[in-house]
Chain A
Amino acid sequence: MNFSSSTFGKLLTGRGSRQGLWLLPFAIALAMALWLAVTTSQFGQWSNLANLVAQGMPLLITAVGQMFVVLVGGLDLSIGSVVSFTTAILALDLPGYVTIPGVFLFAGLIGATNGYCITRLNVHPIVATLSMQYVVLGITRVLRPVSGGTVPEGVRWLVEGSLFGLPLPILWGIATLLVAWKLLYGSRYGLHLFAIGGGVAACSDDAARNFGIPASRNILLAYVICSLFAALAGVFLAGRIVSGDPNVGLLMELDAITAVAIGGTQLSGGVGSLHGTVIGVVVLALLSNGMNLLNVTPFVQTAVKGILLMAVVALQSRKKIGL
């Protein structure tokens, strides 16, 4: 009788579950929040909590997008560049009604290109999105070599303002989660994503197609969704930093992947959940917020993030060896 086949072990390691391992990270998040609330006086203050939400929001939005791609066994490394690109476009001297739709159009195109290369031209997701990361970052640096410019006033209000007494960042989070929930659990599309991913994870790529699910089209759409969420995160960040910055999205894709992985979504595809991703984001946000409160240097924060990621991923179990 080994640990992971007992009922408790199953729940803890997420073995055999479609939702993956999310209970353990949930416990970690809870423990971290409690510990911070007890040891530091600032943590529970309203201003710190509002700051926590606003700081974690770009991560939440990108991680939710990344989850769609990870569920079909892919990976999108280009989202950091898309975020930077978005802030650069918004900081151009153009009215918001031109730039905001334009940003989402471009992001959709980037996602579609990723998806097309992966599904039709048979390029490995890591390779396709990595090269897209370079291309988009290059274009961003042409548009805006150093940070500067100003973002339209409306975008700023969308991030800093409040509605019915609620700070707007919270509404961004709710809207993101509602859209993602509808796509994932409230539509046929979400079901198809899980089916395709399950096939990919079991090393039989055409399992879903044999059941009549158009795999290529759905995978392509997942990359478009991921890019669109990245653009949304970019708009949010642009509102926060009030300028365009070619480096603001640097390494953001890694944080997003970390959050998704901590939340129990398996990188081989087919297993994962929206609430898991939210928990992953909360863990990462609490980690950086808590360490800031405790005056830990950012370098240690980096190392701890890496160890956490490794520990959580090592607890997941899967069949596939390799990527």
Chain B
Amino acid sequence: MSALVNSTLFRRVSKVPPSYYLLVVLLVILFVARPQMLNANVLGVFVRQVVPLGILVLGQLLVMRVKSIDLSGGGVILLINYCISSGIFPGASLGFYVVLALATGLVIGLFNGVMVAKRRVSAVIVTLALSIVLIGFVQYLSSGKPPGDVPKIFAELFNTRFAGLPSPVVFWIALTALMALLLSQTVFGRFVTAVGESMPAAHFSGVPVERTVILAHTLAGLMAAIAALVQTASIAVGSVRVGLDLPILSVAATILGGVVFGRGEGGVWGPFFGVLCFAFLFVVMTMFGVGDAGKLVAQGLIILFAAIFYGLRADK
């Protein structure tokens, strides 16, 4: 096996995140089986569905690059969805909700960051526990029933188009570009890379490790809040089950995009295409009549193979 792994061809092939290959394969399958589906309108609808996931992934890749993880997204989405749809803020404007959501995300992200970096609590546990608390809290407030309707303006905004593309998709691409700039052009971006490579080395080189981790988590919380707004706009009703599988899917898409704990070869666009893969994967599988069970198996195998693909290359 090691001869294969060390060969030039494998090294060259494995430089590209698995998400690119998978996306090409999926598009070819779509092209062969349903050529009429390959137009901007139909694809736009599919892609629009995964925008919340895509935004959540932007935060996830940030924390995964500093060897942490954020599983609290499900709770954040549920909480913000509840705030908007339950009518506890009668007559509130769109701006109020956006500020409320961002503030919520910021506080939750900051809490995660401080717990992980200062208190040195396991990130899996603290974010998972927070998610459990938030989910329990929201379900208690709403007695387990869907709370109500979302103000119309959310759905209207969600359905607009910008330059021929659905505006959520444009928004997602812009946000991804911003994140790419943040990671490649700023000092913070370099700190993230340094911390991911080796925490002791970064510490001894004067990188503020704790502060970098806290900031990464805070940004991840913010991204979760934005994802919550988009998700709420997309379903346009209150729900007590919305977005619960998104954190796990975001980890999967990030890995598929070539960002594994501490290593960020895939950059920001690798995970971006990882999310697109999930969008088309479900389309292709539905097309071939694969049921939910088959989708779960495929999802699991894809994550596993993507991770093996990276693991084989990593020097022990």
Contact = CB atoms under 8 A, between A and B. Distances in A.
State yes or no: do A and B come from one complex.
yes
B303 A302 contact: no
A224 interface: no
Nearest to A300: B140
A188 interface: no
Given A141-B293, A303-B137, A310-B133, A131 B303 contact: yes
B122 A313 contact: yes
Contacts of B302: 131
Interface in B274-300: 291-300
A121 B297 contact: no
A129 B79 CA distance: 28
Contacts of A127: 251, 255, 260, 303-304, 307
Interface residues of B, number: 60
Contacts of A142: 293-294
A207 interface: no
A14 to B, nearest CB: 14
A218 interface: no
A310 B293 CA distance: 33
Given A75-B124, A122-B316, A133-B300, A322 B132 contact: no
Interface stretch (B40-48, B100-108, B113-121, B221-229): B113-121
Which of the listed residues A300, A309, A310, A322 has the most CB atoms from chain B within 10 Å of its own CB?
A322
Interface in B20-44: none
Interface in B256-288: 260-261
B53 to A, nearest CB: 16
Contact of B124 (A126, A301, A307, A319): A126
A322 B68 contact: yes
A302 B144 CA distance: 12
Contacts of A304: 136
B56 interface: no
B153 interface: no
Nearest to B142: A299
B312 A122 contact: yes
A251 to B, nearest CB: 9
Contact of B117 (A136, A261, A321): A321
A292 to B, nearest CB: 15
A321 B303 contact: no
Nearest to A118: B311
B140 A299 contact: yes
B129 interface: yes
B140 A124 contact: no
Contact of A131 (B123, B209, B301): B301
B210 to A, nearest CB: 7
Interface in A110-127: 117, 121-124, 126-127
B301 A135 contact: yes
A155 interface: no
Nearest to A127: B307
B110 interface: no
Contact of A321 (B68, B136, B301): B68
Given A130-B251, A314-B115, A322-B68, A267 B135 contact: no
Nearest to A203: B200
A257 B307 contact: no
B136 A302 contact: yes
Nearest to B133: A306
A140 B293 CA distance: 8
A137 interface: yes
Contacts of B311: 117, 121-124
B210 A138 contact: no
B126 interface: yes
Interface string A281-304: 000000000000000010111111
Q: Which of A131, A137, A320 has the most CB of B within 10 A?
A: A131
A135 B296 contact: yes
A135 to B, nearest CB: 4
Contacts of B128: 254
B140 A305 contact: no
A138 B255 contact: no
B261 A323 contact: yes
B58 interface: no
23 contacts: A117-B308, A117-B311, A121-B312, A123-B308, A124-B307, A127-B255, A127-B303, A131-B301, A138-B294, A138-B296, A138-B298, A139-B297, A140-B293, A297-B140, A297-B143, A303-B132, A304-B136, A305-B132, A306-B133, A306-B136, A309-B132, A314-B119, A321-B117
Closest 6 CB pairs of A and B: A134-B300, A303-B136, A122-B311, A302-B136, A138-B297, A306-B132
Given A138-B298, A313-B129, A316-B121, 8 more contacts: A130-B300, A132-B300, A134-B297, A141-B293, A306-B136, A309-B125, A314-B121, A323-B68
